[in-house]
Structure 1
Amino acid sequence: MEDYNIWREKLEIALALSDNDLALTSPCLTQPGDPVRAENETDVAFATREHDHAMIRMKYDLGRAKWDSSNRKCLMVIKGSMEDPIRGSILEYTIATEYLKKVESQFTGSSKAYASTLIKKLVNEKYIGAGIREHILKMSNTASKLKPMDMGLKDEFLVHLIFASLPKEYETFVVNYNLQPNKWDIEKLIAMCVQEEERLKISLGDSVNHVKENKRKNFKNAKPQEKPQWDSSSPSKSQGKAPQTDCWGYNPAVSQGTD
C-alpha cells in the first residue's frame, strides 16, 4: 500500500466526488432527549415544548439516516481500497473516522521511512537538462509531500536546495542571488531560472551543440581498423605463390619445361 497521506487524499477525493463524505467531515449527530415536564408547567407550555421537540427529533432522524448511510459507504470504500494483509490486521470499527485513525497508526513507521526517502531524494537531486521549470516543480512537489507529516520545508530552504542541484553553469547566477538582500519564493525562482537558462542557451548552447554534433559525426564516420598490409616487396605478394617442390627440391613443372 502506498504512503498513507497519498492514499488518504485519493480516498477523500473519491468520497467527495460521490457526495458520500459526510461521515468524514461531520461528527455523528447526538440524539435529543425526551422532554420532561417541569413542575407547575402548564399543559399549553408543555404541549408547545413537545411540538418543538417533535420537530427537532424529526430533523435528527433525517440527519442521522443520512449520516449513517455516508458512514456505511465510507467504511466500504476505505476497506475496499486497502490490501488484504493490512485490512486483516485492523480491528473492526463501526465509525469511519475511528477506522481511519487506526489505519494511520499502522503507517506511523512506514511514514517515517517515506519521509527519509523524500529528504534523501531532495538532497541528491541534480538537474540534468530537459527544462529547468519542470526540475523545480518536481523538487517542489517532492517537498510538499513532507507537509502532511509535519516536516514541511520553508521556501527559503527549498530555494537553496534547488540551487544546490544546478550544474556549474549556474554558479554565477547562484552567487548573484546570495549577494542580494531579497529572498525569492518558488514562483520567483522559476521565473528567474527560466530566464537564466535561456541566456545560457544563447551564450553557450550553439558552441556546445556544435562540439557535440562534431563528436557524433566523427563517431559515425569513423572507419573500422584496417588489417595490416604486407610489404609490396615481399615475393609472395608481388610474384604470386612460391614454386612448390618436393622434399628433395625437385620441381616437376620446371623439369617438364626443360625436357
Structure 2
Amino acid sequence: MVSLPVSVNSHASSVPILNGTNFSEWNEQVQFNLGVLDLDLAFQIEKPTAITGESSEEEKSLHKVWEKSNRLSIMFKRKTIANNIKTTLPQTDSAKEYLKNIEERFRTADKSLVGKLMADLITMRFNGTRSMHEHVLDMTNLVSKLKTLGMNVDETFLIQFILNSLPIPYGPFQIYYNTIKNK
C-alpha cells in the first residue's frame, strides 16, 4: 500500500472553530479527523509505561507512536479552538485530559443550546417565503442538531411539529394526514 502525505493543517482547517456554542459538532469533527489521520491512539489506549533499559523494541515503538499521537492531538485541538477560549483552558500534556477539560467547560453550553433549538423547533412557522421543502428540511436539520446534543426527537413528534407549523389554509392537509395515519 502506498502512503500519501496528508496535511494535518488541511484537516484542521476543515474543522469548525470551537466558539463556545458548537462543542458537539466540533468534537465530532475533531475525533473524525484525528481518526482519519491515524492520530487517535492517545484516546484508544492509556499512556504506555515509561521506557527502561529492559523495554522491548515493541514497547519502545508503541511508546514513540503514542507520544506522537498525544502531542499532535493536543496541537490539532488547540489549532481548532478560538483564542479567547484556548487561553482559559488549563494546560496539560495529555490529549485525553485536554478533551475532558474542554468537555467540562462546554457541557452547560450544550444544555442551553438544546433549549434554544427546541424552542426554535416548537415555534417555527411556515410563512411562504421559502418552499415547503426548505421549511421541512430546516425543521429536520434542527432535529439532527438536537440528536448530536443527545436529545432525540421521535419522528412522530417531528411530523406533529411540522403539521403544527403550517398556517390555517393547510388545515385540510392536516386532517387528511391524521385520517390516513389512524387507519
Normalising to structure 2: TM-score of the pair? 0.76
SS at match of 1:107: helix
Deviation digits for residues 146-170 of structure 1 (CA, Å, limit 9, x no counterpart): 2233322111111100111122232
CA distance in structure 2 between the partners assigned to 1:182 and 1:76 by the alignment = 55
Give the aligned partner of residue 147 of structure 2: 147
Give the aligned partner of residue 38 of structure 1: none
Unaligned runs of 5+ in 2: 1-18
Give the aligned partner of residue 11 of structure 1: 30
* 1:92, distance to aligned residue in structure 2 (A): 1.6
Give the aligned partner of residue 114 of structure 1: 113
Name the count of aligned residue pairs: 162
SS at match of 1:20: coil
Alignment-mate amino acid for residue 156 of structure 2: E
Deviation digits for residues 81-124 of structure 1 (CA, Å, limit 9, x no counterpart): 22233222221222212211111111122222211110111111
Alignment-mate amino acid for residue 139 of structure 1: M
Q: Contact 1:28–1:64 (CA<8 Å) still a contact in 2? A: no
After superposition, the CA RMSD in angstroms is: 2.6
Q: Contact 1:23–1:71 (CA<8 Å) still a contact in 2? A: yes
CA distance in structure 1 between the partners assigned to 2:126 and 2:75 by the alignment = 44
Q: Contact 1:23–1:96 (CA<8 Å) still a contact in 2? A: yes
Give the aligned partner of residue 104 of structure 2: 105
Give the aligned partner of residue 14 of structure 2: none
Are 1:169 and 2:151 matched, yes or no?
no
Q: Contact 2:163–2:174 (CA<8 Å) still a contact in 1? A: yes
Alignment-mate amino acid for residue 27 of structure 1: I
* 1:76, distance to aligned residue in structure 2 (A): 0.5
Change (3 A) 1:73 1:182: farther
Give the aligned partner of residue 45 of structure 2: 27
Alignment-mate amino acid for residue 38 of structure 2: D
Q: Which runs of 4+ in 1 moved over 4 A?
A: none
Task: Between the two structures, name the one with larger relative contact order (CA 8 Å, sep ≥ 6).
Answer: 2
* 1:77, distance to aligned residue in structure 2 (A): 1.2
Unaligned runs of 5+ in 1: 35-52, 184-259
Normalising to structure 1: TM-score of the pair? 0.55
* 1:126, distance to aligned residue in structure 2 (A): 1.5
SS at match of 1:127: coil
Give the aligned partner of residue 131 of structure 1: 131
